[in-house]
Structure 1
Amino acid sequence: ARHGRTPAPCIRLVTVNLCGVAVKCTDVVETYIGRIKEVNPLINAVVKDRFEEALQEAQQVDELLSEGHDDEELLQEKFPFLGVPVTIKETFALHGLPNTAGLVNRHNVISTSDAMVVSRLKQAGAIPLGVTNCSELCMWYESSNNVYGRTNNPYDLQRIPGGSSGGEGCILGAAGSVMGVGSDIGGSIRIPAFFNGIFGHKPTTGVVPNDGQFPNAVGLRTEFLCTGPMCRYAEDLEPMLRVMAGSGIGKLKLDEKVLLEKVKFYSMEHDGGSVFVSPVNKEILEAHRKVVEHLETQLGVQVQHVAIRKMKYAFQIWSVLMSYKGSGGEEIPSFTDLLGDHGKPVWPSWELMKWMLGKSPHTLPAIGKVLPSYFAGSLRTELVNLLGSDGLLLYPSHPIVAPKHHSPLGMPFNFAYTAIFNILGLPVTQCPLGLNSEGLPLGIQVVAGPHNDHLTLAAAGYLEKAFGGWICPGES
């Protein structure tokens, strides 16, 4: 553990353990408990704590370290997060704490075991402080429900913290925890990370296990749901990802050294003009352009501006593919397969042209249903080919900054900016870029090709140094 330049409540703990450091684990845990008690009455982020148990576990860490160890490196390798406070999204099972997902009918459900990622973090030495609020059944990007009530953004209590991992993003943004666990099926890690000024990583699909959370994905949705790390400091993302992924980390290239000067950068400032989504806010655009300018002038790379036309159909693609499931939750054949009826493949765009000429045997609604799934496949191919193994795409995290409470009801599809990458299965890191004129966090998504998470994480570290990263609420 080490202190940064921030005040005591915003104490900085990064990914080194307490071996050989003067500060005691109990001091660290007490500091974070004190911070939660200070801010939680205002933001309502931590909905159930385990402070007594956490202090007992911190005492055990202090006793372990007081015994003395000849090989501290071995101890650090075994417990990379020894004594580090962590919070967990309430939808993940944490032994002895509620697991309701904001559903009133589950208000008495108490976890009797740990979710896989929670277990791995605890085995690595992390100390859970409590569980954090979410939207009901994780189905909305405002974290409010009838079990725990509403969570407020720490930068402006009249605004939302995002969702569904909103409580997690909120307590991290408020400096009440070092790192946290979130889940993401349409942006549920990245939207709260953006609104709360922190880092959030959606890994490549299938790298981190989703076991032990409610609700869990079924059918085709299992390919879209991702569990990932959330934290205030970019350097904590990679070690968190390593621990959470376990043996799955072998699918990635985290040991490869990244030279960003050799990376191909691409930029896309908006989705191309979807009628379902708000225009990108001026200050978000300005922050985006500053990133491009910095990369070109300071890093010496050429950022290529691209216009990927199919991105404007992000919401349609996500919503259609999310609806593919059978009565028992099993995956069913795609609509394209059904139209072909095991015969010649149906090409939706060609069928649409034929329909316009009165030559298609299919109805317009059926063709319209097929188009989004067809676009998803071709869009993924286009992006994977563009990014390759050495490319990064800069893309807005959300078209607007954190809106006021209830406002999302009037702009329900803005999550399309994050959701499309769940469908495509690509790794994405949301990176903070300072605050706007109203003191609200700005940010940007950095996207890579499959299993190239190391590139987005390296970019996150670079952008943190260039633009300051997380800013403690109230400092500016």
Structure 2
Amino acid sequence: MNPISRHDSLSASGGTADSSCAPSITPARNGLASGELAFSSATDLAQLIQRKQVSSLELTQYYIERIEQFDKVLNAVVVRDFERALEAAKLADESLARGHRLGSLHGVPMTIKEAFDVSGLPTTWGVPEQRDNLALDDATVVEHLKAAGANFMGKTNVPLRLADWQSYNDIYGTTNNPWDTQRSPGGSSGGSAAALAAGLTGLEFASDIAGSIRNPSHFCGVYGHKPTYGIVPTLGHNPLGVVSAPDLNVVGPMGRSAEDLELALDVVAAPDRFRSSGWRLVLPPPKARTLRGLRVAIWPKEDFVPTSVEISDRVQEVGEVLARAGAVVCDLARPEISPRQSHNTYLNLLASAGLVNLPDEYYSAIQSGAAELDANDGSLLAVLTRARVLDHRSWSDHDEARTNDRLRWRAFFNDWDVVICPISATTAYEHDHRPRLERVLTVDTALTSHYEHYFWVGLATVAYLPSTAFPSGLSRDGLPIGLQIIGPEYGDRTTIEVARLIAQELGGFQAPPGFGA
């Protein structure tokens, strides 16, 4: 049977999922409750399979039934490959019965962002003209994940060309946030985050150039890791016909625990095929295994960046929790960079990377005179418009500025282990599919453009730094607030470990109501 691709356009639907009907599969042999399996970490699922407390086939059937039941209101898993997933699960069980374990993800069912190539499945990036583009080969990370024993049930939704913090397109329709289906799950990995939060998959893998892992993690209350630039191969996560790795862009794991991020990163982190014949990647161990003595700089707000008071306050509150646990916490420590200039550098490099651009109507507005550009304007609109025609010399100047900031960050991390700061200015916002020039986001009482909110995600991205998104609890109106932990280049194990330690103090993933928890 061919894989199922959901090409029907689904619109946002109100309400929450009906939890009165549980899937018929009951893979809970040894007292494992259905909800416990649905929202378990991939790390725990792999251990259950290894101990033969549940089979890969039972678990894969279970998640498939959850997708068929609960995804009707979410529209997260938009490409479905159930038959091949079940066959892979059977083979995993047969292999384990013979005493052979494929790897650390043996038998774990997972999904992956639509932008990754999976042989035989469509890779469209939400572009209607590419709806019939079937991948001939697996992306490098898919190869690694399969080799470690994971089986793929399908692919999750994205915005058009991955260029939005919402997840909708004309091929697959709109993905909804499981905490409130009237709201966005974030983007561009919104389908990934929604599927994880609703307990439709064991693990996810996504990408990030402008917060596309971290923003959906924040909006949906899950974990995500943006790796140090260049440590995970990106081949097979490219626009049609492109094989080169763009500047800034990384691919990384998403999960329901920090342990899942560590597990998946260990599977995929490696030199790409151009470097593999001569390079070897050895990530340093975490700087700390306990919060006591951990050196934490918190960055709750920045004067020129609109950020809701509740989110800034949450950063401060997390700092206080860590201080009580014995960490050394400071809200004044900063790298010797100009935040505004760093942001400007990021926007220019982001635009020149070619993966993220303002929509054509922005440029049309400029050309028609409907919008004006001041030569000194540092807004995203101005920067991206200028960067659209960025010459190599100008790019080199921005790269030089970025490299100097990388050195300043390195000096900063000689004294501090991590930085904790916001990911986004607000919690998940309501779906807004108007032309992008018309979109307005309210940050407390300030009215802002949707495109004014790249600062927090750009801090780590422009300097090639790792950043781990973690859930910090709910807002006053019951929506997740995620924060990010930024560490030194190649300090990926440190940021993930700090997220694990924070979960011991705050609690970790919470399942949204209405999905059989």
TM-score band w.r.t. shorter chain:
0.7 to 0.9
Which of 293, 311, 323 pairs up with 1:284?
A: 311
CA contact under 8 A between 1:194 and 1:397: conserved in structure 2?
yes
Q: 2:423 maps to which residue?
A: 397
Summarize the Cα distance change of 1:441–1:11 in structure 2 as closer, same or farther, 3 Å threshold. Answer: closer
1:461 aligns with 2:463: no
Q: Which moved more, 1:21-30 or 1:115-124?
A: 21-30
Q: Would you identify which runs of 4 or more consecutive aligned residues in structure 1 move more than 4 Å?
A: 1-6, 216-221, 367-375
CA contact under 8 A between 2:258 and 2:500: conserved in structure 1?
yes
Summarize the Cα distance change of 1:389–1:87 in structure 2 as closer, same or farther, 3 Å threshold. Answer: farther
In the TM superposition, 1:176-191 aligns within 5 A as: 176-191=200-215
CA contact under 8 A between 1:233 and 1:470: conserved in structure 2?
yes
Structure 1: state its 5+ residue gaps. Answer: 70-74, 327-348, 350-366
1:59-111 superposed Cα distances (whole Å, 9 cap, x missing partner): 222222333x2xxxxx45x4110110111111100111110010111011011
Q: Find the residue that maps to 1:83 and give its secondary structure.
A: coil
Question: Per-residue deviation at 1:187?
Answer: 0.9
Distance 2:319 2:91 in 1: 48
Identity of matched residues, %: 30
CA contact under 8 A between 1:296 and 1:303: conserved in structure 2?
no
1:301-333 superposed Cα distances (whole Å, 9 cap, x missing partner): 33342356622345432221234479xxxxxxx
Question: Per-residue deviation at 1:283?
Answer: 2.0
1:381-418 superposed Cα distances (whole Å, 9 cap, x missing partner): 32221113851001101111111111883222313311
CA contact under 8 A between 1:10 and 1:175: conserved in structure 2?
yes
Q: What is the aligned-residue RMSD (CA, Å)?
A: 3.0
1:270-319 superposed Cα distances (whole Å, 9 cap, x missing partner): 23323xxxx22122122212210011112343334235662234543222
Q: Find the residue that maps to 1:41 and give its secondary structure.
A: coil
Q: 2:297 maps to which residue?
A: 266
Number of residues of Structure 1 aligned to a counterpart in Structure 2: 426
1:130 aligns with 2:154: yes
Structure 2: state its 5+ residue gaps. Answer: 1-27, 273-279, 355-375, 377-392, 441-449
Structure (1 or 2) with the greater helix fraction:
1
Which of 126, 129, 135 pairs up with 1:111?
A: 135
CA contact under 8 A between 1:217 and 1:225: conserved in structure 2?
no
Q: Find the residue that maps to 2:469 and give its secondary structure.
A: strand
1:316 aligns with 2:347: no
Q: Which moved more, 1:219-228 or 1:189-198?
A: 219-228
Q: 1:23 maps to which residue?
A: 54
1:426 aligns with 2:465: yes
CA contact under 8 A between 1:195 and 1:440: conserved in structure 2?
yes
Distance 1:417 1:388 in 2: 22
Summarize the Cα distance change of 1:416–1:89 in structure 2 as closer, same or farther, 3 Å threshold. Answer: same
Match of 1:12, as an amino acid?
S
TM-score normalised by L of structure 1: 0.82
In the TM superposition, 1:179-328 aligns within 5 A as: 179-215=203-239, 222-246=246-270, 250-254=281-285, 258-274=289-305, 279-306=306-333, 310-324=338-352
Question: Per-residue deviation at 1:54?
Answer: 1.0
1:312-360 superposed Cα distances (whole Å, 9 cap, x missing partner): 345432221234479xxxxxxxxxxxxxxxxxxxxxx9xxxxxxxxxxx
Distance 2:243 2:349 in 1: 11
Question: Per-residue deviation at 1:147?
Answer: 1.1
CA contact under 8 A between 2:288 and 2:494: conserved in structure 1?
no
CA contact under 8 A between 2:252 and 2:265: conserved in structure 1?
yes
Q: Find the residue that maps to 1:42 and give its secondary structure.
A: coil
Q: 2:432 maps to which residue?
A: 406
Match of 1:453, as an amino acid?
D
Q: Find the residue that maps to 2:472 and give its secondary structure.
A: strand
Q: Find the residue that maps to 1:305 and give its secondary structure.
A: coil
Summarize the Cα distance change of 1:437–1:321 in structure 2 as closer, same or farther, 3 Å threshold. Answer: same
Distance 1:398 1:5 in 2: 35
Distance 1:418 1:223 in 2: 15
Summarize the Cα distance change of 1:445–1:8 in structure 2 as closer, same or farther, 3 Å threshold. Answer: closer
